Structure 1
């Protein structure tokens, strides 16, 4: 067990962020059942009663933590677009590679995702969060596909985005859980080849690894 954080005066926002981080740490270490109110408070260095000041319930804190996890993974995937190439094919290639590479592909992240997904099946609010974040990532992917120099209907763009998202999700999952099962660069190569085959574009040639490496 990690030691309790020492008491310190913090801003309201910093305290709230500490509680979210503590919840994520505990879920990563022992699953949702490990993230009790007392354990979260101890990890964040506050009293259990203070959690009620920021969140109406442990369930609300859990939902916010899941939202934060999903948003961060999407931001990490999209970071390559901020200073990436103007070429649409290169942008899609770099985005695809980033989505199956660290820090997005990470054993802790996939463990957190798996723990939270259990609640997605039974909690309508968690399902809404999951749906919104899935669509946010898929819509970003669809916009990148739509920018490619090819003709495609809206319906086809949607189907292409769903198919490419499925490939990326599967490779992200396997690459995060069993990174040692793949040769260096193999997951990226498979992702680029597979997504490129779906869209009939050469993503391997367009990929710019220097823009996707941390």
Structure 2
């Protein structure tokens, strides 16, 4: 296990460094294997410093899961807020969910380490629910803007139903694509998602076209 050089830094940065070390340990060893001692060694600090920032290992793991959710959602949220038409932003949103870094093997390892805790630990369930609600809200707003741009405005409830369906589609492709990544060529997941979204939304073939690859 590599040992980080822990430098003097503002409080927020130190906390971020500890979360990064925690995620590194979880990706390699799982939650049970990611002990405070292992995390301290990876971060290059003492266990006492970790306890200064986190009152318990449970709270540290909860913050680590929040960071995993943030990393998985960040490319899609950035796409939704990016310049361009609603159509362009919708395409970027889909692509961002199904290309690296979201589809990296490390991200799958982290997701798999945490997912079993959601059903049995209320704190993890609350974090998951908060992220899901935010993700769904962003996607619903993006779909509403897209259909308004097309001159075919839809009711909020209809956009919500579409958002739920699209989220399920993206999740399924992400899971299969990261579990057996060698079966897919570059951008195949994203391109497949775009074709599927066209059908799901009742669009014409080619209404959503993936960005030009460079």
Q: What's the TM-score once normalised by structure 2's chain length?
A: 0.90
Residues 200 and 152 from structure 1, CA distance in 2 versus in 1: closer, same or farther, beyond 3 angstroms? same
Q: Is the 8 A contact 2:198 2:208 kept in 1?
A: no
Hey, what does 1:51 align to over in structure 2?
A: 50
- Map 1:1-214 to 2 at 5 A: 1-2=1-2, 4-86=3-85, 88-147=86-145, 148=147, 149=150, 150-202=152-204, 204-210=206-212
Structure 2: segments with no counterpart, 5+ residues: none
Larger relative contact order, structure 1 or 2 (CA cutoff 8 Å, min sep 6): 1
1:119 alignment partner, SS class: coil
In 1: Cα distance, 2:171 partner to 2:64 partner: 20
Q: Following superposition, which runs of at least 4 residues in structure 1 exceed 6 angstroms of deviation?
A: none
Aligned-residue CA RMSD (Å): 1.9
Offset from partner CA, 1:19-57 (integer Å, 9 cap, x none): 100110011111111210111111111110111111111
CA distance in structure 1 between the aligned counterparts of 2:9 and 2:23, rounded to whole angstroms: 20
CA distance in 2, matches of 1:141, 1:204: 20
Q: Following TM superposition, by how much is the alpha carbon of 1:82 offset from its aligned partner in structure 2, in angstroms?
A: 4.3
1:146 shift after superposition: 0.8
- How far apart are residue 207 of structure 1 and its match? 3.1
Q: Gaps spanning 5+ residues in structure 1: where?
A: none
Aligned length: 210
- What is the TM-score normalised by the length of structure 1? 0.90
SS of 2:124's partner is: helix
Q: Deviations over 1:3-31 (max 9, x none)?
A: x3345322222221111001100111111
Q: Are the equivalent residues in 2 in contact too, given 1:93–1:203 (CA < 8 A)?
A: no
Q: Provide the C-alpha distance between the structure 2 equivalents of 1:26 and 1:203, rounded to a whole number of angstroms.
A: 45
